């Protein structure tokens, strides 16, 4: 009898896997209260510090084993955990507890974890919740060393499907490196670390498959269907043959996609579509060029501010942007100004007194306008980079026209300052706005009039429209890109840009999702920016679609309010 578990599928290009189950224990390690004899306190302190160093050495060894061509944004997950091990909140606070309370290293670390968790649990912000998960991963690694466990991931996993409650970023990367066929976790959301990494690595996964570790047996043959978010156990030979054949087709498909790297992105009826890439770091440019992207539609710059004690100066900004601009040659690069707050924090941003929901607080453009010196430094560097290539500047998280005018005034002021100083720049550099709040989408005509281009950020637009935290597993099922309100907002922005003859693009997760791509084209979008790994799949799909036919069907589809009918109609667009 076949057992089917359902969760959230993560399809990074390889949607199917068949392999034996390997159970990997990665739950929280709980310590029991234990007090020390007075003479053993300093010995226990040394034991704890050695465990911290051993945990860091494990991560450094994992990082060393990762292939050099691994994208930098993937390596960043391990680097974040290494930085957390160096943080005094983890490496020094337990030492003080051992000395003051005379407790064991395990109990001191447990108490410190509980203290930090209480702080995280009082906050609703998705980024801080993600940091809570990082804290658990780091503490569990230290606990494993203290308990004398071999915390290295199982070595005999090539061709097998790993089943676990959850996985650390280091686990996920190492499992991929050692040939795991797929991943199944009990916890996780579409935006969890495991999901993001699996997608980037092209590793099929199902996250949020509740009950997987208790219902699945070690060594039994599993089918992992990441496309539909299903895990099957106890399949008969006919079912196994079906999925094995599908794997062969997927492998042949990936090989075929490589031939499209330099092919034009044109619909069957001759409409040219522009596909660009989203990046996080300058090192990502190589991956972008390999993907055949026609430019960078979203260059997130927050990395310059993260995990450091001092703010980046103008020259550091400029050198980072210059590396990307020169790496892209004559292709356009859209640089988004810093979007700190909500899902990204740094040491230097001011904390708003009494702010219980940072996602609705001082973030992105609001922070930039309040801390204009920080903003001006970045603007100057972007303007300087504009003299070296096709640079566009984009402002995030605008909600009203006053913010837009204020930001544009600061940009104009720095253009005049640089010209007065005799520093080269492009005075006609295009300046655009991200539309990622319902307020901005509804008043898109005003933004289209003021800016040179608009870009729709669907991740936040969906989150704010539906009041759903996209990183929260408990409400992940409510995060619906096909909600009629979301689609009407997107369509409204596209129509506003058409009225004002301004370019418009879409740069959220919807842009790279093959389920929604025909719908995006049908709503009139001709420019999409996505993760480089999604680009060739999108190009192939577009070459089989008819632009005018999609528009005809989409106009009718947008009148549908019933969610089930809407989903069926969207699926029909791809057929």
Q: How much is the pLDDT for 229?
A: 92
Exposed/middle/buried for residue 83 (C-beta within 10 Å: 0-12, 13-18, 19+): middle
Q: Residues 325, 384: contact at Cβ < 8 Å? A: no
Q: Is position 507 annotated as part of the catalytic site?
A: yes
Copy the structure tokens of residue 394: 């984009």
| Res 329 pLDDT > 60 | yes
From 103, 235, 368, 507, the catalytic residue? 507
Which fold does the domain 38-146 belong to in CATH?
Enzyme I; Chain A, domain 2 (1.10.274)
* Average pLDDT of span 472-484: 83
Q: What are phi and psi of 500, to 5 degrees?
A: -100, 5
DSSP string of 425-467, one letter each residue: --TT--EEEEE-SHHHHHTHHHHHHHSSEEEE-HHHHHHHHHT
* Average pLDDT of span 166-190: 85
Q: How much is the pLDDT for 30?
A: 64
Candidate from 34-48, 109-123, 181-195, 228-242 with smallest mean pLDDT: 109-123
Give start-end residues of each CATH 3.50.30.10 domain in the chain.
3-26+155-256
What span, in angstroms and rounded, lies between the C-alpha atoms of 381 and 376?
Answer: 9
Candidate from 4-13, 19-28, 151-160, 513-522 with smallest mean pLDDT: 151-160
Q: Is position 235 annotated as part of the catalytic site?
A: no
From 81, 176, 193, 531, the catalytic residue? 193
Q: Residues 34, 106: contact at Cβ < 8 Å? A: yes
> Across 29-33, 106-110, 509-513, 540-544, which has the greatest mean pLDDT?
540-544
DSSP 11: -
Rounded to 10 deg, the angle between the 237-258 and 535-542 helix axes is 90
Give start-end residues of each CATH 3.20.20.60 domain in the chain.
273-574
Copy the structure tokens of residue 131: 């940091």
Give start-end residues of each CATH 1.10.274.10 domain in the chain.
38-146
DSSP 528: E
Would you say domain 3-26+155-256 falls under CATH 3.50.30.10? Answer: yes
H or E element at residue 498: helix 484-499
* Average pLDDT of span 380-388: 98
Q: What are phi and psi of 207, to 5 degrees?
A: -105, 160
Q: What are phi and psi of 227, to 5 degrees?
A: -60, -40
Q: How much is the pLDDT for 73?
A: 62
Question: Mean of the per-residue pLDDT values for the chain?
Answer: 86
| Res 352 pLDDT > 60 | no
Q: Residues 355, 393: contact at Cβ < 8 Å? A: no
| Res 124 pLDDT > 80 | no
Q: Three-state secondary structure along 253-317?
A: HHHHHHCCCCCCCECCCCCECEEEEEECCHHHHHHHHHHCCCCEEEEECHHHCCCCCCCCCHHHH
Dihedral sign (CA 382, 386, 391, 395): positive
Task: Look up the pTM and report it.
Answer: 0.70
Q: Collapse the DSSP code of 24 into the 3-class scheme (helix H, G, I; strand E, B; otherwise coil) and give the result.
A: strand
Domain 273-574 carries which CATH code? 3.20.20.60
């Amino acid at each position: 009898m076949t057992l089917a578990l359902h969760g959230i599928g993560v399809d990074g290009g390889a949607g199917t896997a068949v392999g034996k189950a390997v159970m990997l224990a990665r739950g929280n390690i709980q310590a029991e209260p234990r007090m020390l004899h007075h003479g053993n306190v300093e010995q226990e302190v040394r034991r704890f510090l050695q465990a911290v160093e051993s945990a860091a050495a494990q991560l450094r060894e994992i990082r060393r084993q990762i292939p050099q061509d691994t994208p930098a944004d993937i390596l960043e997950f391990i680097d974040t955990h290494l930085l957390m091990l160096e943080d005094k909140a983890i490496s020094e606070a337990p030492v003080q507890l051992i000395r003051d309370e005379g407790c064991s290293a395990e109990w001191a670390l447990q108490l410190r974890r509980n203290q930090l968790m209480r702080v995280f649990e009082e906050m609703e912000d998705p980024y801080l919740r993600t940091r809570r998960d990082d804290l658990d991963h780091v503490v569990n690694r230290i606990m494993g060393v203290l308990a004398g466990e071999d915390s290295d991931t199982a070595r005999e996993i090539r061709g097998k499907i790993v089943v676990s409650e959850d996985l650390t970023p280091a686990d996920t990367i190492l499992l991929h490196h050692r040939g795991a066929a797929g991943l199944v976790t009990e916890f996780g959301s579409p935006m969890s670390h495991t999901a993001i990494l699996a997608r980037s690595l092209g590793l099929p996964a199902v996250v949020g498959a509740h009950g997987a570790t208790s219902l699945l047996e070690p060594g039994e043959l599993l089918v992992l269907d990441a496309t539909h978010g299903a895990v099957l156990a106890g399949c008969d030979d006919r079912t196994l043959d079906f999925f094995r054949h599908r794997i062969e087709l997927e492998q042949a498909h990936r090989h075929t996609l490589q031939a499209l790297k330099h092919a034009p992105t044109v619909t069957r009826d001759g409409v040219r579509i522009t596909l660009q890439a989203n990046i996080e770091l300058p090192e990502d440019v190589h991956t972008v060029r390999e993907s055949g992207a026609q430019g960078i539609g979203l260059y997130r710059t927050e990395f310059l501010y993260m995990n450091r004690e001092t703010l980046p100066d103008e020259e550091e900004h400029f050198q980072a942007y210059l590396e990307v601009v020169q790496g892209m040659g004559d292709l356009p690069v859209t640089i988004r100004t810093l979007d700190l707050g909500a899902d990204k924090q740094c040491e230097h941003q001011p904390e708003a007194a009494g702010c219980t929901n940072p996602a609705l607080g001082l973030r992105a453009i609001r922070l930039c306008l309040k801390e204009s010196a920080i903003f001006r430094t970045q603007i100057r560097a972007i303007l300087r980079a504009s003299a070296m290539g096709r640079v566009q500047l984009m402002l995030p998280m605008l909600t009203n026209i006053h913010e837009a005018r204020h930001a544009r005034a600061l940009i104009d002021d720095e253009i005049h300052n640089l010209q007065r100083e005799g520093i080269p720049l492009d005075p006609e550099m295009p300046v655009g706005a991200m539309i990622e709040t319902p307020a901005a989408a509804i008043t898109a005509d005003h933004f289209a009039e003021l800016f040179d281009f608009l870009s729709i950020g669907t991740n936040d637009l969906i989150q704010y429209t539906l009041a759903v935290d996209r990183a929260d597993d408990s409400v992940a099922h409510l995060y619906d890109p096909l909600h009629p309100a979301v689609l009407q907002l997107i369509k409204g922005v596209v129509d506003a840009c058409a009225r004002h003859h301004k370019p418009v693009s879409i740069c959220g997760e919807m842009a790279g999702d093959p389920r929604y791509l025909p719908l995006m084209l049908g709503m009139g979008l001709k420019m999409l920016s996505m993760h480089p790994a999604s680009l060739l799949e999108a190009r192939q799909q577009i070459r089989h679609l008819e632009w005018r036919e999609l528009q005809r069907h989409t106009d009718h589809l947008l009148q549908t309010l019933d969610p089930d009918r809407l989903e069926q109609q969207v699926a029909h667009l791809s057929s």
